[in-house]
Structure 1
């Protein structure tokens, strides 16, 4: 720990409990703990003061002239990541270094002015502004907005801040890994250049690791249950009249389908389709029934709904919906439809001449041979609240996993039916929102796959 500025305030980091005993103490933050022994009366008193809340060195020592023992204890606690440290200017809080794992040893701050890393983000949460970095051991919480300008390189004198505040902030940003001496160094190796900030943040935020070591606020916690009802399993119907779809004979398919090994080995992406013999409404109906129908809904004692469909879904939330965008399907008028997986029916969402639907068709051409237009695109959307009501931090990551298993289910079923399929790594989310008229935060496009009659091999 560097020499603290005057009025620096210390606190046990969130989740830490300190049990003091004669001559020692035990620090607890499951699954971590540390035993402190050989403590004198000043150190024990300092720990008791910290247990009551944030304290300055003066408050912990009662104004003792020789606080060396307490300073040494603070150094040890800081090195172990047990303390959150708030730097202040007089009685005004400026920023707090909040650890969530053990910090590295401090190294010399670069002489040249450092720059924020491309991975450092600044955002607001329920407690205010915070700087975060996906590979850091701490967060840096901003209490005074002048510190944002200071972190960006502003002159502390122009901000009305003492020069030593700038020195301390630079040292703490460097220690936390929020800054780099030369921004170009982050792009000189493939390892760092290959990661974008959103990708690295998504990875770190949706997995267990240094930031998340318990299940208290991670995974299927049903965090929203006390304040919000779960969204119903069934999406509200679009107002158009339903188009009933024929139900395939699963008993016959069980007997006549190719084997699982055959469809796995024969599966491939098809980029050329035969418009002279397009996919039929009956084939579309069979594909939807085999892959995405709602087979049943279980109601749990606490009132949540757990649908069952042919593909798996974490917690049986089944937040995904299918939207067939039809250009050329025999027996079905062009347009954008929603698949009602409960009634096995289609409802028209937007007509074929809608500019948004035309965009949804045309943007798939980049996937097909000679920029051809698809016979059929199945857009996959997520009713985000179905997953986010239950899951903390991993909801969107789980949704993308669900998209993956649904795409594979569609691929294998299409292969069994002698249909061609090719999944897309992108789709026009803005056009989807325009065509459906939905709030993107309530339902968003998360995947797409082109389906049709494959062209004969050349």
Structure 2
């Protein structure tokens, strides 16, 4: 990040989260788990570091703090390590800021062609500080302070932007350096097609995993800020108003003795796509499956008043945000319709009658899973109450939800196999009709998966 390429008004600062501790002839830069030791520093360089510790400064201000000594070598060391953020200014006005996560990439040797375009993976959005440009593969974020620059995000084609040409050239060069502008959009398309992954998939993967963007667990574990923004919902979901349908409680002690072995159910587990409607699953079988896989085994309170649930499958932080909504077409002893499984009382409560159009819409995605557009005997819709996990997982909250869906799916698969039932995972629910049917806002309880359940067709 050579300082000489930037205008004299450019301000440099230690990037957010960095602590600089100085000694008689050295300094330590701390950004856990990263740290760097700067040795062989003279008095002028130490004064320059002290100035940076106080806030943003221009090169001339840093030189003045150093008693007129040249600070270029020190700035180069800081820049090469990715310790500096850079705010480019013009006529006393902030234009944009580069905020690195770590060491910057080498500057491209080839000049940026006029045909350069914004990367398909770049994301521009607004937050509390203004506009920020991000890229899941970039080594930095680029914060835009002056909205005039927005017209230059697709290259230098917008020549009528009221900014000096050297400022516009510097901005587009930095966009290229950071990875936001690509010389050849067709080449990027071919590469992403070959390697796989769309913008949402790559973005989701990078933002929910440790890496250059997130080197610490600060945004993956419970934090005061996360708990303020996402106060934890109660462990128990609000009950639907319909009359409860009591469910059979299986004798788990007997099941321990009667069930096939774990090895047997693991080896015998298959995805069942053909079912026997002449002999459908019964209410007692559905009750047993729900009890063995999704019932609440009890809650406990933490010292801070948070509720932790316990169910037969694991869940990050004991949040257990998943709720099951059986959509019933054919179950012996149970009327068709959509129900909610109350895991605390082990009962079903009616949600929507079978003749409601939204029930049909909720089940529609299964037509691509079952042969010849067959309808499931039961579809167990998994709905996530995100407020149970966002405060404990924060940036990885949605990733945790998706992982819990997989865990619950496997638990249902194995229990169904042990019971002689057929099961098939349904990974792409239609969230909008579910929210309408359940009477909830989508962010409040969105459909994230499902399981097709029934009696398997006889061979």
- For residues 191-202 of structure 1, what are the structure 2 equivalents within 5 Å? 193-202=195-204
Query: What CA distance in whole angstroms lies between the structure 2 residues aligned with 1:48 and 1:63?
Result: 9
Alpha-carbon contact 2:45-2:74 (below 8 Å) kept: yes
Alpha-carbon spacing, 1:63–1:42, altered in 2? closer, same or farther (3 Å):
closer
SS at match of 1:189: helix
Q: Which residue of 1 aligns with 2:88?
A: 87
TM-score under structure 1 length normalisation: 0.95
Distance 1:23 1:299, change over 3 A: closer
Report if the CA contact (8 A) 2:7-2:88 is conserved: yes
Residue 24 (1) aligns with residue 35 (2): no
Measured after TM superposition, the shift of residue 368 of structure 1 is 0.5
Q: Which among 213, 219, 236 is matched to residue 234 of structure 1?
A: 236
Aligned residue number for residue 146 of structure 1: 148
Q: Any runs of at least 4 consecutive aligned residues in structure 1 with deviations exceeding 4 A, and if so which?
A: 63-67, 154-157, 190-193, 226-229
1:51: which partner in 2? 53
Give the TM-score taking structure 2 as reference length.
0.95
Q: Which residue among 325, 328, 335 is the counterpart of 1:326? A: 328
Shift of 1:230: 2.2
Maintained 8 Å contact 2:14/2:85: yes
Does the CA-based 8 Å contact 2:385-2:446 persist in structure 1?
Answer: yes
Tell me, what secondary structure is at the counterpart of 2:382?
strand
CA offset at residue 360 of structure 1? 1.6
Matches of 1:105 and 1:227 in 2, distance apart? Answer: 38
After superposition, residues 29-428 of structure 1 pair within 5 angstroms as 29-62=31-64, 69-113=70-114, 114-153=116-155, 155=157, 157-189=159-191, 193-221=195-223, 223-226=225-228, 229-428=231-430
- Superposed displacement of residue 193, structure 1: 4.9
> What is the distance in 2 between the residues matched to 1:263 and 1:21?
64
Task: State the Cα distance separating 1:318 from its structure 2 match.
Answer: 0.5
Counterpart-to-counterpart distance in 2, 1:131 and 1:229? 29
Question: Any stretches of 5+ residues in structure 1 without a counterpart?
Answer: none
SS at 2:323 equivalent = strand
Would you say the 8 A contact 1:272–1:368 is kept in 2?
yes
Alignment length (residue pairs): 456
Q: Match of 2:13?
A: 11
Q: CA deviation at 1:30?
A: 2.3
User: Alpha-carbon deviation of 1:28?
Assistant: 2.2
User: Per the alignment, in what secondary structure is the counterpart of residue 363 of structure 2?
Assistant: helix
User: 2:18, 2:437 → 1: CA distance?
Assistant: 50
- 1:390 is displaced (CA, Å) by 1.6
Shift of 1:121: 0.7
Distance 1:65 1:313 in 2: 59
Q: What are structure 2's unaligned runs of at least 5 residues?
A: none
Deviations 1:7-32 (A, max 9, x none): 10100011112223334333222222
